Amino acid sequence: MSSNVHIQSLKDRCAVIHGGSGALGGAVARAFAREGARVFVTGRSRRKLDAVVQDIAAAGGHAQAAVVDALDEAAMVRHAAEVAEQAGGIDVAFNAVGVFHVQGRPLAELSLEDYFLPVHAYARSNFLTAKAVAPHMAARGGGVILSVSTPASRLPGPGYLGHAVACAAVEGLMRHMAGELAAFRIRTACIRSHAIPEAVAAGSHSREVFRPAAERMGLTVEQMLAAPTDGLLVERLPSLDQLAGTAVFLASPLAGAITGAIVNLSGGVILD
């Protein structure tokens, strides 16, 4: 359950959430707004974006939405420039862009196109996010660039080649950018989250990500997530509130000494 007490740790910050029409991005947008940030959400669904904006406005926050293709470099750069001009700069960017892609096939049955689709989409969108917002953060004296991945890159098993390599690429990008952007006082971090049942129920792309594992167990995704104690040291999966709260912390001055970090929200299925 969300706390009704907020310390406004992001007061007067400008935050851009790419993929803000999805379950993860929407939760983070709402949390950022509760903490005082002026929020700009992007995505592909105007209806879902408007719903997020309406929720934030109803709670007394400030948000705007724009339909932006996260794989279109010109569109991403243009949107970042428009936000920076309107808000006076950009302080935080969170990439929650998700793509529906083919999983569940072993190497022998996986085409190059199906393997490379998630690798290309996730690596490209996170690169474009950073490239679009970093100049505006630098001009403002610093900022925070955040993203998400899953434990797939660390858990060997059939059916996850493309997704696992995509997660490794995103995490590698966030680590390396920490060094490259440090001179501009820009921090980076990636939240490595296990499946979030609320997001799956809301129609998130994560349903497809975890479908192969469920099928190997002879279960639906919902059945697999209903009692997920296997391998989880905390015996429960993360919630949307926990992911959003982690993002708030990482974006706040309280996390000022954290950069290049992969934050483990896997429930202990992996330890590092």
pLDDT truncated to tens, each residue of the chain (272 aa)? Answer: 444 545 789 999 999 999 999 999 999 999 999 999 999 999 999 999 999 999 999 999 999 999 999 999 999 999 999 999 999 999 999 999 988 776 778 888 889 999 999 999 999 999 999 999 999 999 999 999 999 998 887 776 677 889 899 999 999 999 999 999 999 999 999 999 988 888 776 666 666 666 666 666 566 766 666 665 566 888 788 999 999 999 999 999 999 999 999 999 988 888 87
Q: Whose CA is closest to 104, among 166, 167, 163? A: 163
Helix (H, G, I), strand (E, B) or coil at 240: helix
Radius of gyration over alpha carbons of the chain, in Å? 18
Torsion 192-20-115-216 (CA) sign = positive
For 66, counting Cβ atoms within 10 Å of its Cβ (0-12 exposed, 13-18 middle, 19+ buried), the class is middle
* Residues 42, 20 contacting (CB under 8 angstroms): yes
pTM: 0.90
Between CA 6 and CA 170 the distance in angstroms is 30
* Residues 263, 244 contacting (CB under 8 angstroms): no
The identity of residue 212, as a single letter, is: P
- The domains found in the chain, sorted by start residue, are 14-196+239-263 (3.40.50.720)
